[in-house]
Amino acid sequence: MLGITAFIALLLMAGGIAAQAPPLPPGREGLPVEPALPPGLGSPAGPQKATAPLRPALPFVLAGFGEARLGLRTQEDPHEKDVSLGEVRVQVQLEKAWERVTARLSSDFLFDAVLDRHAVDLEAGEGAVDLREAHLLLRPVAFLDVKVGRQILTWGTGDLVFINDLFPKDFNALFLGRDPEYLKAPSDALKLSLFTPVVNLDVVYTPRFDPDRFLDGRRLSFFNPQLGRRAGRDAVMQVDRPAAWFVDSELAWRVYRTVAGYELALYGYRGFWKSPVGFDPATARATFPPLAVYGASVRGAVAGGIGYLEVGYYDSEDDRRGDDPLVPNRELRLLLGHERELRRNLTVGVQYFLQRMLQHEAFRRTLPPGSPDPGAYRHLLTVRLTQLLWQQTLRLSLFAFYSPSDADAYLRPRAHYALNDHWSVELGANLFVGAKAHTFFGQLSDNSNLYAGVRYSF
Amino acid sequence: MTTRLFLASILAAGLLLALPGWTAAQARDGQPAVETIVEKTNCVAYYQGKDGRALVSMVISDAQGRTRQRQFTILRWDDEPAAAPPDSVCGEQKYYVYFHRPADVRRTVFLVWKHVAKDDDRWLYLPALDLVKRIAASDERTSFVGSHFFYEDVSGRSIAEDTHELVQTTDHYYVLRNVPKNPESVEFVAFTMWVHRQSFLPVRVVYYDRQGEPYRVYEALKVDRIQGYPTVTQARMRDQRLGGETVITYERVQYNLGLPESLFSERYLRHPPREYLR
């Protein structure tokens, strides 16, 4: 019955268009066909009708999604399971706004079939509960916003490449094929945002160091410099995390303003390398050496698209001379990017990223024999292609990293289709290519995977 | 220096279309020049009231009759003071679009600084990542949020892009035929507008393809008078090439709220102004 009604409606619709203005030679189209005045024109307009409420009558906003994801390695990995991803997840978001305060809670409840341990660790985001957000957003005075609690933080200009954004990231989520929103891990922090007519200032204080959700071998295999080979579940990384409250803290700030459409920003950070890139031979554990970063960025309209430039100086405070092989050297990092629409519904973004080790000579001199030398310069090129199809319900994208200096690459093809306003499905892959076992993407080559997911949003 | 022609516009129809008085633009005696009609339609359409707000709902139906919904609040701010006469060259504008539906884009914000002489500045805020993304200017004839309306229908098409001819004046309408100066840049060869003579509201716009066939039709379905301004509160866009149609409805329309310009900034992307979004 519904089908017939819809069919008739369609017929009427199709007929309607034709009837409104019959085909005529160019220049004389539609002349005799005059539309009737719509209600409200010519006759007195009625009052605006009352509106249905935006949301069901709950005392708070309730939203979220449920999803299932499955991923498989495309090759055997001697150190990891064949199933790279197998999880069911429900995210529940609660939000309540008062006049000057908004409270927000967002938590994932998940079953992860790949991991062997399911104990909940809220700090590391492990186990059946992953608390993503739990914060208050306040405006105590007109020129100040305060956000306190567990929150996701992002700033800077790069696309999947970060210089001055030293907030925690989850590289497992990225490489395993979770939704892109999981690239960002939460911080337990206080964020003060000060707004003045001249510049704006953000200060983020994290009383206890929040590291990345780094690769530790449980899910992804990678090069272990101590073993001199790729390792995974056979040698799960043991780390010493700086964890003293108010001592092992992080401070990040940003000063920014927009001038004639160009966004200018200065950044600073004092804390620790976000992933365990140091090593302590006494404990045989990986460490997070102290780090300070100073940088700047500019972003704006360039050549029919958006251009951006970001630079950062990484001051590895425990290895200023560069001769400690167990602590990273100081670095300069630079990112240049451009994004534009190539044609209707097809967007192309390109980036060039440079990482320069500042005391490579000292590094090389003190490098233990047999250890690989990454070189003084790491060059990285990225391309992102995004094509929207079928009235933007189908999104095809490809993100490709290629490093000529490391001779490795990482490809992220992805297809996302919205079946309707609630259901969506996606298919994707994470493909790592590289000749050498120790380069950034090359070390991950046993982890190449395909994944599929289905999500219901509410 | 460009002014923009009002074309089946979402924003214009919902928010901006407003006249100081119902009959202020009457031109029954003596035919106004076509430029006057075009400019009046555009300027009056886009710059009445010094700001505005609407809760916008879109029902997008595809060729199979399946529907999708979009719901968002639009806030608009004009650089020009409200007292600017309709014939003046209209200034820059800022738009803040906060999405309520569908669920997967809830809390996403789209910010546009609309410029008259260069590409617009656009930002997108993705709340799950706390990411303020700058977006490249796109082809103006790209679908807006997957609907049958184009960005150009939303933000206006420059008058300078078409030649205009007044082909007929009826009791109710000025009928304008518009031909693009650069036909390669668009998918139509001409479009015809029925502009309501008293209100300067476009009531129907029909786009024609190279065979002279109509394939895309905009219609104003309902007009309400809000704070003295006649405002299109429901409209429809049908597109035979895509199949299906989008019906757009405006609710809670309000003008002259006294929106501060500072609201159209990164601060309010990250911290939405709830008092204006309810």
- For the segment A210-229, what is each residue's pLDDT rounded down to a tens digit? 999 999 999 999 998 888 89
Predicted local confidence at residue B22, as pLDDT: 33
Position A137 pLDDT exceeds 50 = yes
Predicted local confidence at residue B45, as pLDDT: 63
Predicted local confidence at residue A168, as pLDDT: 97
Distance in Å, alpha carbon of A201 to nearest chain B alpha carbon: 11
Predicted local confidence at residue A56, as pLDDT: 59
Nearest-5° Cα angle at A172, A168 to A177 = 120
Any domain includes B213? no
Any domain includes B246? yes
Domains of chain A: 137-457 (2.40.160)
Distance in Å, alpha carbon of A13 to nearest chain B alpha carbon: 8
> A43 falls in which pLDDT band (50, 70, 90)?
low
Does B65 contact A6 at a Cβ distance shorter than 8 Å? yes
pTM attached to this predicted model: 0.88
Query: Which of B53, B98, B131, B236 should be substituted to probe chain A, the one whose Cβ sees the most A Cβ atoms within 10 Å?
Result: B131
Predicted local confidence at residue A177, as pLDDT: 95
Position A284 pLDDT exceeds 60 = yes
Predicted local confidence at residue A124, as pLDDT: 79
Q: Which residues of B touch A345 (CB under 8 A)?
A: 142-143
Position A208 pLDDT exceeds 90 = yes
Nearest to A144, CA basis, from A195, A205, A98: A195
Any domain includes B261? yes
Position A427 pLDDT exceeds 60 = yes
Buried b / exposed e over A17-28, threshold 16 CB at 10 Å, is: beebbeebeeee
Rounded to whole angstroms, the Cα distance separating A218 from A236 reads 6
Query: What's the token pair of residue B96?
Result: 């803040």
The 10s digit of each residue's pLDDT in B193-230 is 999 988 888 899 999 999 999 999 999 999 988 888 88
Predicted local confidence at residue A339, as pLDDT: 97
CATH number at residue B68: 2.50.20.10
Q: How many domains does chain B have?
A: 1
- The CA distances from residue A219 to A29, A90, A227, A287, in Å, are 65, 21, 18, 20
- The CA distances from residue B86 to A18, B36, B71, B92, B229, in Å, are 36, 10, 31, 15, 14
Average pLDDT, chain A: 89
CB B244 within 8 A of CB B225: no
Does A41 contact B223 at a Cβ distance shorter than 8 Å? yes
What is the mean predicted confidence (pLDDT) over A265-269? 98
Predicted local confidence at residue A200, as pLDDT: 97
Nearest to B96, CA basis, from B273, B231, B256: B273
Q: Please report the residues numbered 34 through 53 in chain B whose beta carbons come closer than 8 angstroms to any beta carbon of chain A.
A: none
Cβ-based burial of A172 (10 A; exposed 0-12, middle 13-18, buried ≥19): buried
> Count of alpha carbons within 13 Å of A95, Cβ hemisphere only?
14
Predicted local confidence at residue A182, as pLDDT: 96
Any domain includes B191? no
Query: What's the token pair of residue A13?
Result: 């619709």
> A107 falls in which pLDDT band (50, 70, 90)?
very high
User: What's the domain range around B84?
Assistant: 4-159+242-277
> A130 falls in which pLDDT band (50, 70, 90)?
very high
Distance in Å, alpha carbon of B88 to nearest chain A alpha carbon: 24
Position A27 pLDDT exceeds 60 = no
Position A273 pLDDT exceeds 90 = yes
Any domain includes B138? yes
**Chain A contact for B189 (CB, 8 A cutoff):** yes
> A57 falls in which pLDDT band (50, 70, 90)?
low
Any domain includes B233? no
Predicted local confidence at residue B159, as pLDDT: 79
Any domain includes B204? no
- Blockwise average pLDDT, block size 10, chain B, 278 residues: 35 38 41 81 69 94 93 89 48 90 93 85 94 88 91 78 91 92 91 90 92 93 88 93 94 92 94 88
Query: What's the token pair of residue B222?
Result: 């309902």
Any domain includes B95? yes
